[in-house]
Structure 1
Amino acid sequence: MAAVSDRAWHAAIVDLLRRVRLAQPDELAGEINTATRPLALEVTIYLIDHEQLRLRAMPERGKPTPPPLTVHGTLAGRAFTTIRPLAAGDDDGAYRLWIPMVDGAERLGVAEVIAHEAPADPARFERHAVDLVGLLGHLITVKMPYGDGLQQVRRTQAMSPAGELLLSLLPPLTFSCRRATVSAILEPCYDVGGDAYDYAADGAVIKLAVLDAMGRGLTAGLTCAAALSAIRAARRDGHGLYALARAADAALTQQFPDLRFVTGVLAELDMDTGKLRYINAGHPAPLLLRHGKAVRALAGGRRMPMGIDDSTIEVGEEMLEPDDRLLLYTDGVVEAPGAGGDRFGVPRLVDLAERCAADALPGPETLRRLARAAISHQDGPPADDATLLLMDWSGAAAERTQP
């Protein structure tokens, strides 16, 4: 295959941007292949399902939809988990690239890019293809809210009303900047009870929250949504950690006549100094990992769960070191019951987290494996929500979230 010029790649991208301006979400796959046809390419987009177990192809009008691909045991899955492009040749002479598709650092899936002849310069071809797929990740994210088709690709079962409510409020599962990465995961993803997570990065400060509302179903979802909204509103008004917790207290007591409470951890890291400040409202203590090992649980900053009037002013503090990891989780992770009645437990969580650190796995893949381990440990359907949030204060960790 003769080398495709930089000008041809540029022209294809410009054409694609023009085509998608008025395209519906379900028309994206067709517009992508129309724009890349002059490059002699065929592109198939696979979105990760909410369970993060299978990659499911975006339908393209007039073409049969390929079957789902498992994350475990496939080249596509390996590209997704490692966030690295993988090349494979076919018997018919075609050249195939599996490229992880991210929006910023959020893993959306993978793209299969097929050149019907092997490129003259594979490394140059890969660089152009990775840039193209990076653009596709942005376009898919932008178009996702405007229709149901792309959402349906990612779903394998019906979503509960509580799940629909909370998932619509949560930020992306992964965020990276030059100095840090925040990753999160929530299970069971279709029937969320009352768990949620949140984060915000502005200037040198990253702010984190993990919440767990009492109860199950829509009642718990509404309780958690009220607390999350109150915390965000106070945070965006410039208030500190203590005021955020008190804002959640007020929202819950004012909106609900019956007693409703939310446990949670609210934290903020100053990336200039490494100072971590946090409040723990009746929640499991965050775990600090350093040099790949869990060094301690952060036991300070205690107060009553949010929704119970508590004017205690106690903010915990910890000095982090560069490359430290902070792991927040809800009790649904460590209290997950096994077949013999044994709980998943903190020691098992720590052991798995340390093993993932030893393998230098990206943050989002670390949490995917921790969540799958907690779910697999249980004998039957999950009895409670299980939410994990991992913050890496590390530029190297942030780089590992990029293709």
Structure 2
Amino acid sequence: MTAGESEQTLALVRTLLDRVHLATAGQVPQAVAEAARTLGWTAVLHLVDHEQRLLVPAPLSGVPARRPQAVDTTLAGRCFRSVEPTVSAAGTPGVWLPVLDGADRLGVLEVALPEGVDLHDPVVQERCRLLAHLTGHLITAKRPYGDALDQLMRRRPRTVASELLHQLLPPLTFACEGLVVSGLLQPAYDVAADAFDYDVVDDTAHLAVLDATGHDLAGTILAAVALSAYRNSRRSGHGLYDSAGAVDELIAEHGRGERFATGVLAELELSTGRLRYLNAGHPAPLLMRDGKVVKELGQGHRILFGLGDGQVSIAEEWLQPDDRIVFYTDGITEARDRDGGFFGLDRLADHLRRAAAAGLPAPETLRRIAHDVLDRQGGVLQDDATLLIAEWATTRERTLVSSGGVAAHELSPSRSDGEDTPRR
């Protein structure tokens, strides 16, 4: 990179950071566009909606309005699904860039480039990488300070119960060296009493899935109490046994003997693959090995949270590299189609097997399963449906971070069925 090129790249970064410093959440897309203009580029941010079906463009002053891009059938969607830059339709100089916060998929950037720009130029690729990388982190940093970006992502009203619950959840996807954790709840606008959590401290990953009784605001409050009790105990340095007791005590107090919660709490040692877990009346997690479900983790029983400690046993499983642990709530397997048939455990296992065979990462696997569950039930679930996948000793965390480069074959993309040309 020459001195002049370095100065232009620095101007891109400096403009974005300086502009965002005092920007509201809703002004982040404009700040990204202004930074791109220092290079003669046009950049339009598209955020994924809460159901992960559409990539919704942020409006920009002086830029023609774009239409939403379908995640499943467009070049923008291919970029989102693969987490790799995707060249725009043949004949239009531009590229779609994945926008992530760490490993959490937020959306894509539509970048139009001046004629003659070489997408294989390392300088261009580095600028693309920096622009998308900073955009993802700045979106996450600014979202708590305003509603504009969330309003862009929601396509219909959300219930108060769902609003409260989503404020409590961690980001949908997390990755560190040797570990990927990804979760998803449906229905995105009506979910009430399911919850999941994860945390990594030193050498241990902490995982939890909870399902409180009721599909209403009271159920959400109970799930919030359970989640907060678990986090409080975990952050105080307590282990599974004490954390389960803390959840049980708070559920008993607030449920008053009428409402309860099921759940699975687990700890995974990242250096060894030792998994310890306990199950409070919840569907048994699934162990995937070599691309297929090989067993249910059906030990470590205790009574439902809210009914007293009773007898508690902590089970142990030793994972092998690339194993996946799949946690789920009964809203997945008990979802009914229009003829009354259950989605069922066999169909869930088949989904997981096919996703593994196709090399799909955890967040894309969950997105597809959740959509199948919803579509089979006509888009209206009778119960909350939650999935959480943890992958251990894997290198797949690296597939969740964009390389920033564009492969040679992408210069003349073959458009698969239904893939649209971005409207410019």
Q: TM class by shorter-chain length?
A: over 0.9
> Match of 1:352?
351
Q: Deviations over 1:274-333 (max 9, x none)?
A: 110001000000000001011100010011111111232200110000100000000000
> Match of 2:198?
199
Tell me the TM-score normalised to structure 1 length.
Answer: 0.96
- After TM superposition, list the pairs within 5 Å mapping 1:4-403 onto structure 2: 5-88=5-88, 91=91, 94-120=92-118, 122-124=120-122, 125-379=124-378, 381-403=380-402
User: Which structure has the higher relative contact order (CA within 8 Å, separation 6+)?
Assistant: 2
How far the C-alpha of 1:65 sits from its partner, in A, is: 3.1
Distance 1:44 1:370 in 2: 29
Moved more, 25-34 or 51-60: 25-34
Q: 1:4 to 1:184 in 2, by over 3 A?
A: farther
How far the C-alpha of 1:28 sits from its partner, in A, is: 1.6
- Report the secondary structure of 2:342's partner residue: coil
Q: Deviations over 1:208-240 (max 9, x none)?
A: 001100011101000100011000000000111
Asked if the contact 1:333–1:344 (Cα under 8 Å) also holds between the matched residues in 2, the reply is yes
- Report the secondary structure of 1:234's partner residue: helix
How far the C-alpha of 1:116 sits from its partner, in A, is: 2.1
Distance 2:221 2:396 in 1: 35
Structure 1 spans left out of the alignment, 5+ residues:
none
Q: Deviations over 1:182-209 (max 9, x none)?
A: 0000000111120000000111111100
Q: Deviations over 1:4-60 (max 9, x none)?
A: 813211221012111111011111222222222120100000000000000001122
Distance 1:344 1:255 in 2: 32
TM-align CA RMSD: 1.6
Distance 1:300 1:368 in 2: 28
Asked if the contact 1:3–1:119 (Cα under 8 Å) also holds between the matched residues in 2, the reply is no
Distance 1:287 1:303 in 2: 18
Asked if the contact 1:90–1:96 (Cα under 8 Å) also holds between the matched residues in 2, the reply is no
Distance 2:138 2:105 in 1: 14
Distance 1:121 1:43 in 2: 15
Moved more, 370-379 or 320-329: 370-379
Distance 1:326 1:32 in 2: 38
- Report the secondary structure of 1:39's partner residue: coil
Distance 1:335 1:230 in 2: 28
How far the C-alpha of 1:64 sits from its partner, in A, is: 4.3
Distance 1:402 1:74 in 2: 21
- Report the secondary structure of 1:16's partner residue: helix
Distance 2:84 2:225 in 1: 39
Asked if the contact 2:374–2:381 (Cα under 8 Å) also holds between the matched residues in 1, the reply is yes
Asked if the contact 2:303–2:310 (Cα under 8 Å) also holds between the matched residues in 1, the reply is no
Moved more, 269-278 or 393-402: 393-402
Asked if the contact 1:87–1:98 (Cα under 8 Å) also holds between the matched residues in 2, the reply is yes
Q: How many residues align?
A: 400
Aligned AA for 1:374?
Answer: V
Q: 1:350 to 1:4 in 2, by over 3 A?
A: farther
Asked if the contact 2:287–2:297 (Cα under 8 Å) also holds between the matched residues in 1, the reply is yes
Distance 2:379 2:233 in 1: 40
Aligned AA for 2:129?
Answer: V
Q: Deviations over 1:341-382 (max 9, x none)?
A: 110000000001010001111110011011111111214511
Asked if the contact 1:48–1:154 (Cα under 8 Å) also holds between the matched residues in 2, the reply is yes
Tell me the TM-score normalised to structure 2 length.
Answer: 0.91
Distance 2:155 2:3 in 1: 41
Asked if the contact 2:13–2:130 (Cα under 8 Å) also holds between the matched residues in 1, the reply is no
Aligned AA for 1:295?
Answer: V
Moved more, 37-46 or 125-134: 125-134
Structure 2 spans left out of the alignment, 5+ residues:
403-424
Asked if the contact 1:26–1:59 (Cα under 8 Å) also holds between the matched residues in 2, the reply is no
Distance 1:271 1:120 in 2: 42
Distance 2:333 2:121 in 1: 45
